Amino acid sequence: MILNYVWIIIIIIFFNDESHGKKKINIDGVFYECRSPKNSFERTRGVRNRICFFSSEDKNDINKRIKNKNLNLKRKFKKR
């Protein structure tokens, strides 16, 4: 009986796609995962909790969201 629970827990841990160790940042309602810091100072001194590096795909997506948001705001408050 206990062995069955152990197997279920192992399966849940190893087959879960969510990463619990990586920092996630919420930008306009979408969560983006941060990559690890680039140099040893940031890794060893705990600076990684302040810095977030995005992948190039995430950067492009974030830039598109910001541009669309700015365009919508300009249209909304356009002087007539």
Q: What's the pTM?
A: 0.51
Q: Is residue 42 part of a domain?
A: yes
**CB–CB of 34/22 below 8 Å?**
yes
Enclosing domain of residue 45? 21-76
**Secondary structure letter of residue 18 according to DSSP:** -
The reported pLDDT for the residue numbered 79 is 67
Q: Evaluate whether residue 6 is within a structural domain.
A: no
What is the domain count for the chain?
Answer: 1
Tell whether 15 is covered by a domain. Answer: no
The pLDDT tens digits for 62-72 are 899 888 888 88
pLDDT tens track for 7-36: 888 877 776 655 556 677 888 788 888 776
**Quick one: pLDDT band at residue 4, thresholds 50, 70, 90?**
confident
